Structure formats: C-alpha cells, structure tokens
C-alpha cells in the first residue's frame, strides 16, 4: 500500500513525487498517456521555481538545457522596430540570486524531474488511467481503467484543467471562459530564422510570435487564429500557420515544417472552491487555470507541490497531525486567486499595448511574475513571538531570503545551501541564541538543523551583514525556516521554548 497516489505526471505531479520520495514517503505516480507528452506547452521557469529546483538538486540540470538571455525582437509591417531584454530591469542581490526567468520547454522540465525521481527509486507508471476512487476514514481506494485497485492513504489530483478526479468530488470549478480570446499554438521548425530572438510580429490586424525552444530545433508558435470569409476561426494546421507567418513576417525564404504539436487555446479563468476533500487533494491546473500571460501556470503548480510535499510527508509518517494538510488550502488558495487576477490583468494590458508599434510581450515581465514576493503571512503556520516592525523586510510566512556567509574555515556558504534538504532550519543570530540552538539540537536532531550566525564555536560569519539585513535583525534573534523555504517563526534569542512550541503545534 502506498502512502500517496499522485494522478498526473506533469510538472506539478512530478515535483510533488520528488518532494515525497526524497523524504522516504511511499509514493506512486500514474499518468494516463502511454508515454511522455510531446509539445512545449509551458516554456518558462520563474525565479521562485529556480529556487525550488535548487533545493531539489536539479537547478544546474535545468540551466544546462535552458537559457535566460533571449532577446524579444519586435516587428511592424515586417520590419524590425525594437529589441529588448525583458529581464534587464532586474538585478540579482544577496537575498535574491535569481531574477531572470529560464526559458525551457515543459517537456524538458518533466524529463529532468523524471530522472531525479528515478534516482529516489520511483518511476512514472505511464498508460495507467484512474477510472474512479472511493474514500474511507483510513484511506482511499482508486480503480484504474485496467481494473487494478490501488490502496493509498492519500490521493493527489495533478491531472490538469479537465481533472477527472476533481469532477468526482463535491467541488465547484468556478470562473469563466473568455471565448473571444482565442489563440492557436504549436511547435514547428523554421529553418533560416535566427534562434537568438523571440520573434514577435504585431500588426494592426493581428500578430504572430515564434519563440525558439532550447535543446530542440523547434520554435513555439503563438498567434491569433486565421479567419475565414465569414470571420470564423480556421482550424489550426501547419498550412494555416504558414499563411499567418507569410502575412506577418514577410520572409519568403522561411518555411515552417515538422509540426510536433498543434492546439487551439481559449483563455479560462477558473478555480476550485476547495483544494482538499478528506484524503483527496488538488494541485496545479486541477485546482486552478488562468491565462498564459506571465507564464505563471507551470510555476504555480510547481510551487503548489513544493508547499504540499513536506506537509503530506510529515502527516503520512505520523509525525504531524492531519490538520497540517488544511494549511495547504489555506496558504495556496489565496495564491491561486492572486494568480488568476494577475495573469488576467497582464493579458489585458498586453492586449492593449501590442497595438502600439514596437510593443510586445515584455509588458508581462513585471516583478510579480518572479514569484519572489509571494508568502503566507495570514497562515496559522506563520508565528511571530518577537516585536517585529510592520515594515520589517521579512515577516513570518514570507519567503526566506538567501545570503552569503563564511564557515569557520573561511569557505563560502549560502543560506540556500543550508536550507536545501528536508529539514527545518533554525538560524540563531548572535551569542544570545546559543542556548536555544543547543536545546533544539538535543531535542530535535536531524529534523531541525541549527546554525549560529555570528561569532562563536561553529558560527557562520555574516561578513557583509547581508543575512542580518535580509532578515531585519538588529540584535540577537531566532528565525525558524520551514522545509519549503518560508519563515515559520521569529522569536527573541532567549526564547528557548519557541521552536518546541512551534513543532508541537504541528502535531495537534
């Protein structure tokens, strides 16, 4: 019997499976398609997802197959009118080492995640479709189309916007379909077209974009659909793509070939009213869908999984109470609502701006899409026992920043390196935190890794003061960081019981 059954092996399901497998949780992940999906679909990782993947130990692999230096090239009436660096306005800092999005096709992201999951002994079961399930007080029994009965403690639906699991739950998927906002999309080769640019032909009567997909010969094409004499959209095909290209690009030497994937896309803005029903949970597109503006879809699903993984592992192992799973919905449902609103606003803003010559989709690249400012200050898991000022740079619930430090031998170490893993991290700023650090180590062992920030035995040198500034610490203090890199607790340095009280609350 597995502890967790994941339905759907896209980026959300695979990230969740990795989070569980590395914690030793017995997990199965099934996917109804007989083999990995073809086609780019999502094609960008934001800064917060890069931080998530650094923690999973796969950031270098992602960066080796992606790129963050792509220039947006805009055309009007077939002529180049502007080149822009969409992330040029953002500068990395000690607390935010990643501010540029990484262009990488969803299929490539999934491949890296499958490989990482296999290193923990778990493989995707392709060609396995869940036909239904039943919940009981102590578990869930899922039945596949082939007739297999799978008994599991928890089931997580990561099976997309048309989720079959969600449809069997007493859950509404409220929102709207914007039928007038129609796009065609697909992957094609375009020999002779430079791969150094994301080409964007925006004319008064429509537009077309071709984005090179790293690690492949293909470009992802996005366009307003071709229309017939009655104004009705023409079915998307390689031939209609070529006609759209010829009309807008006016490059007679370039022919589109090798269509790997073609689809028609209507903007949907919908969200489940609940992300948990008993022992069944929803994540990714199964829980929320929105416009593609800002590239938030794949990233929001990855971050759903990052939030849920450590909680589900603790509960499945009996180390935390079932109430901890309720905080998944409490924390992520407001983020989903924010994402729908934000992507909708970006969609409308870009739809307006591209009517101006020289404008393009760089308008969606705002600080919002980096994902670095999203946190859970409202969560019951965000506890402040100190007198933190309202304008402090971070508060309980916020993303925990990075910072450069030096160990006792003078070697460089980063907070993100310390956070990486499956543990809580207790940072003790100043000598006044020594007793709390010592007691935490004695009581909690490897589940809480404790570090002194400052002078003292084993202390880490905050040589430039970045850690203190990033965390808003002016004297001695305690900061407890969750396994998903969010601040769990802030407390005075002498509050020896603070960590015990916090962790005890998770068991209730």
What residues form DSSP beta bridges with 160? Answer: none
Residue spans of alpha helices (H) in 270-382: 296-316, 323-353
Per-residue pLDDT, 359: 56
Identical fold at 2-67+101-175+268-370 and 383-506? Answer: no
* End-to-end CA gap in the chain: 25
Each residue's pLDDT, cut to its tens digit, for the chain (508 residues) gives 799 999 999 999 999 999 999 999 999 999 999 999 888 888 999 999 999 999 999 999 999 999 999 999 999 888 999 899 989 999 999 999 999 999 999 999 999 999 999 999 999 999 999 999 999 999 999 999 999 999 999 999 999 999 999 999 999 999 888 766 788 999 999 999 999 999 999 887 788 999 999 999 999 999 988 888 888 888 999 999 999 999 999 999 999 999 988 998 888 889 999 999 999 999 999 999 987 766 778 999 999 999 999 999 999 999 999 999 999 999 999 999 999 888 877 767 666 655 555 555 666 778 888 999 999 999 999 999 998 888 899 999 999 999 999 999 999 999 999 999 999 999 999 999 999 999 999 999 999 999 999 988 889 999 999 999 999 999 999 999 999 999 999 999 999 999 999 999 999 7
Burial class from Cβ neighbours inside 10 Å (0-12, 13-18, 19+) for residue 234 reads: middle
H/E stretch holding 453 reads: strand 448-453
Distances (CA, A) of 150 to 131, 142, 144, 278, 377: 11, 5, 8, 17, 38
Give the domain ranges of the chain. 2-67+101-175+268-370, 176-267, 383-506
454 Rama sector, left if φ>0, alpha if ψ -120 to 50, beta otherwise: left
pLDDT of the residue at 270: 93
In the prediction, which pLDDT does 391 show? 87
Homologous superfamily in CATH for domain 2-67+101-175+268-370: FAD/NAD(P)-binding domain (3.50.50.60)
- The CATH class, in words, for 383-506 is alpha beta
What does the alpha-carbon distance between residue 428 and residue 491 come to, in Å, rounded to a whole number? Answer: 10
Q: What is the pLDDT of residues 152-198, one digit of tens each?
A: 999 999 999 999 999 999 999 998 887 667 889 999 999 999 999 99
| pLDDT for 93 | 97
Nearest to 87 by CA among 358, 294, 350, 365: 365
SS3 468: helix
Give the residue among 283, 222, 395 at the shortest CA–CA distance from 11: 283
To the nearest 10°, report the CA torsion of 274, 482, 155, 278.
-50
Q: Classify 176-267 by CATH class.
A: alpha beta
**What pLDDT does 381 receive?**
98
Number of neighbouring beta carbons within 10 Å of residue 474: 11
**498-506 vs 434-444: helix axis angle to the nearest 10?**
30
CB under 8 Å to 246, separation ≥6 — which residues?
252
Distance CA 422, CA 21 (A): 11
| CB 314, CB 381: distance < 8 Å | no
Of 284, 276, 332, 277, nearest in space to 484 by CA:
332
SS (H, E, C) 183-242: EEEEEEEECCCCCCEEEEEEECCEEEEEEECCCCCEEEEEECCCECCCCCECCCCHHHHH
What is the three-class DSSP state of 302?
helix
């Amino acid at each position: 019997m597995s502890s967790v059954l994941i339905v759907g092996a896209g980026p959300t399901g695979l990230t969740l499976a990795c989070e569980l497998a590395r914690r030793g949780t017995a997990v199965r992940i099934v996917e109804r398609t007989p083999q990995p999906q073809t086609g780019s679909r999502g094609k960008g990782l934001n800064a917060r997802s890069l931080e998530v993947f650094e923690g999973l130990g796969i950031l270098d692999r992602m960066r080796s197959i992606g790129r963050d230096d792509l220039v947006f090239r805009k055309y009007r009436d077939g002529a180049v009118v502007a080149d822009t660096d969409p992330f040029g306005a953002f500068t990395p800092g000690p607390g935010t080492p990643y501010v540029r999005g990484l262009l990488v096709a969803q299929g490539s992201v999934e491949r890296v995640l499958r490989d990482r999951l296999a290193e923990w002994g778990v493989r995707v079961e392709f060609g396995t479709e869940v036909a239904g399930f039943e919940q009981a007080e102590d578990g869930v029994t899922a039945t596949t189309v082939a007739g297999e009965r799978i008994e599991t403690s928890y089931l997580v639906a990561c099976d997309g916007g048309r989720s079959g699991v969600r449809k069997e739950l007493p859950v509404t998927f409220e929102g709207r379909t914007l039928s007038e906002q129609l796009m065609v999309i697909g992957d094609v080769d375009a020999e002779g077209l430079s791969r150094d640019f994301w080409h964007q032909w925006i004319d008064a009567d429509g537009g077309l974009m071709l984005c090179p997909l790293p690690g492949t010969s293909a470009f992802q094409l996005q366009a307003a659909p071709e229309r017939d004499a009655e104004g009705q959209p023409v079915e998307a095909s390689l031939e209609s793509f070529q006609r759209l290209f010829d009309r807008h690009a006016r490059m007679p030497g370039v022919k589109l070939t090798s269509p790997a994937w073609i689809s028609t896309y209507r903007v949907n803005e919908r969200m489940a009213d609940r992300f948990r029903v008993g022992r069944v949970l929803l994540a990714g597109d199964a829980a929320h869908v929105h416009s593609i503006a800002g590239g938030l879809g794949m990233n929001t699903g990855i971050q759903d999984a990052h939030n849920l993984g450590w909680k589900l592992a603790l509960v499945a192992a009996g180390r935390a109470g079932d109430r901890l799973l309720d905080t998944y919905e409490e924390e992520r449902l407001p983020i989903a609502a924010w994402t729908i609103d934000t992507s909708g606003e970006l969609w409308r803003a870009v739809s307006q701006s591209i009517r101006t010559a020289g404008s393009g989709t760089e308008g969606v690249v705002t600080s919002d899409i980096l994902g670095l400012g999203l946190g859970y200050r409202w969560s019951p898991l965000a506890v402040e026992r100190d007198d933190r000022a309202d304008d402090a740079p971070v508060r309980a619930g916020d993303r925990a920043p990075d910072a450069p430090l030096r160990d006792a031998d003078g070697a460089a170490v980063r907070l993100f390196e310390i956070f990486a893993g499956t543990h809580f991290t207790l940072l003790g700023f100043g000598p006044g935190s020594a007793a709390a650090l010592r007691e935490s180590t004695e009581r909690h062992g490897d589940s809480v890794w404790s570090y002194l920030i400052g002078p003292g035995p084993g202390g880490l040198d905050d040589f430039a003061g970045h850690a203190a500034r990033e965390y808003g610490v002016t004297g001695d203090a305690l900061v407890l960081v969750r396994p998903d890199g969010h601040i769990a607790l802030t407390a005075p340095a002498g509050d020896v019981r603070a960590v015990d009280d916090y962790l005890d609350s998770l068991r209730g």
